[in-house]
Amino acid sequence: MKKLEQLQDLTVMYVEYNPKERSSLGKYLKTIFKNLHIFTTSIESLKEAKKIKPNILITNITQNRVNGIELIRALKQLNNNMEAIITSAQTDKKHLISAIQLDVIDFIEKPFEHNLLEPALFKANFKILQRREFIQLKRKMIEENIEKDEDSDVYDIFEMHKRDEIPIDIISFFKGVPIINTGYVKEVSKNNIYIQTHSIQKLVMSLEKIINVESAILPKPVKLDIAEIRSFREPVKLENPRIKSFSLRRRKDVRLEPEKEFELTLSVDKHDIKIKVMDISSELITFLIVNIEDGDLLDEGNIVNTYIQFRLDSIGLLDFDFKSQIKILRRGENSKIYAIKPLLEGQNRQDYDEYILQREFQIITELKNLRLANGI
């Protein structure tokens, strides 16, 4: 059992429809792994896969609706670094070929003694450790290069992703709601990077025109412009990569595009300041001023009279007056991006937070309708 101890920290997903076999092998696997997740069907496991992020999948081929081969294919699209082991009484040529194509660690024919699974588990662990060491080495090399010249090696980094099939996380925003999908670099040229990802992500890209990319070997996120989307089937053409200083995943709150009915008014010494709201969240409301001369009234830390109005579906039109403090988020040559904190208390705070959730749901519903309209 000492050798098996090196496997205990791996996260394993075990899928088996046969209750007797599931109970028997499940008990054995529990003696090895601290993080073992057992499922009766592929559908159940697919629903939880994003949250669990398994290192190893152990599955039968025969499953309801989605068979084991289809399950492996779907989970590898979410995480290409996951290793898979098949246990099955079916050994026909078609399934064996599919298993080879999916780079399955082993195909173990049922029935089998539980200890016969151990060589496959050790092989999977070896590949996982090998990949981690490789990624750490690549990351160190990239960090050293970036310290010398921040942008010069970006295309080389994406070439590494392509050559070694390292997945990337693509983060885009639809009216402020984050859309995150896995993607792969398919081609790198002198001025462009071509990536393949989910059709929903491509739909959002076509609307927003900018994406952010992160990965295991990227020490910092990279922002790219969308150059061309020919169809939802073909890779997306990207250009103008630039390294960002922070990850958008670190945002504590979702910053949403407001609906037309949302109204924000600021006043200083009875002078109303015309503004354009950019986005809203539980923590901040960001905006631009319409008249540049009003900028003299809005210095960092100034206290201003604030009025907001919005429609809450469960109640109707609501409006609140309160005082808030000005923050300057970004200074440009001809403009500044300002923000205030919605300093609301009690029922007013609850109503505002409910409105933010309502707005997020509206945007998600809008994206869902766009997806259906485009046949995705």
Whether residue 245 is found in the same domain as residue 298: no
- % of the chain at pLDDT higher than 90: 26
- 241 and 160, same structural domain? yes
Last residue of a domain, one of 130, 163, 180: 130
Residue 256's DSSP bridge partners are 280
Pick the residue with more confidence: 2 or 105?
A: 105
Q: Is residue 139 part of a domain?
A: no
Q: What is the pLDDT of residue 46?
A: 85
- Reference 196, options 182, 214, 210; nearest CA is 182
Cα four-point dihedral sign 231, 233, 237, 238: positive
Residue 344: the pLDDT is 86
Same domain? 67 vs 103: yes
Specify the DSSP class assigned to residue 258. P
Per-residue pLDDT of 51-89, as tens digits, reads: 888 999 999 887 777 788 888 888 887 777 789 999 888
Number of domains in the chain: 3
Establish if 145 belongs to a structural domain: no
Residue 14 lies in a domain: yes
Same domain, yes or no: 362 and 281 = yes
Q: Does the residue 148 lie in any domain?
A: no
Query: Across the chain, what does the average pLDDT equal?
Result: 84
User: What pLDDT was estimated at residue 151?
Assistant: 45
CATH number of the structural domain spanning residue 116: 3.40.50.2300
218 and 168 share one domain? yes
- 348 Cβ neighbours under 8 A, 6+ residues apart: 320
CATH of the domain at 277: 2.40.10.220
Residues 63 and 167 in one domain: no
Are both 81 and 13 inside the same structural domain?
yes
pTM for the structure as a whole: 0.60
Contact 158, 40 (CB under 8 A): no
Beta partners for residue 325, in sequence order: 303
The span from the CA of 55 to the CA of 348, in Å, is: 46
Same structural domain for residues 20 and 120?
A: yes
Are 265 and 285 a contacting pair, CB within 8 Å? Answer: no
Q: What is the CATH number of the domain that holds 200?
A: 2.30.110
- For 316-338, write each residue's pLDDT tens digit: 888 888 888 888 877 665 668 88
Of 130, 163, 189, the last residue of a domain is 130
Instruction: Judge whether residue 187 has pLDDT over 70.
Output: yes
Residues 273 and 241 in one domain: no
* Domain span holding position 48: 3-130
- Residue 159 maps to a domain: yes
Same domain? For 79 and 180 the reply is no
**Which of 250, 271, 298 lies at the terminal end of a domain, its last residue?**
250
Let me know if residue 325 belongs to a domain.
yes
Residue 146: inside a domain, yes or no?
no
Same domain, 343 and 319: yes
Locate 332 and state its tokens.
């440009």
Residue 138 counted as domain residue: no
Question: Which alpha helices (H) appear in the chain, and where do they start and end?
Answer: 19-30, 42-52, 68-78, 93-101, 118-148, 154-164, 199-208, 346-373
Q: Are residues 9 and 96 in the same domain?
A: yes
- pLDDT (tens digit, 9 = 90+) per residue, 137-183? 666 666 666 555 544 468 888 888 888 788 888 988 899 888 888 88
Residue 311, H or E segment = strand 303-312
pLDDT band at 229 (very low <50, low <70, confident <90, very high): very high
The single-letter DSSP state of residue 79 is: -
pLDDT band for position 291 (cuts 50, 70, 90): confident
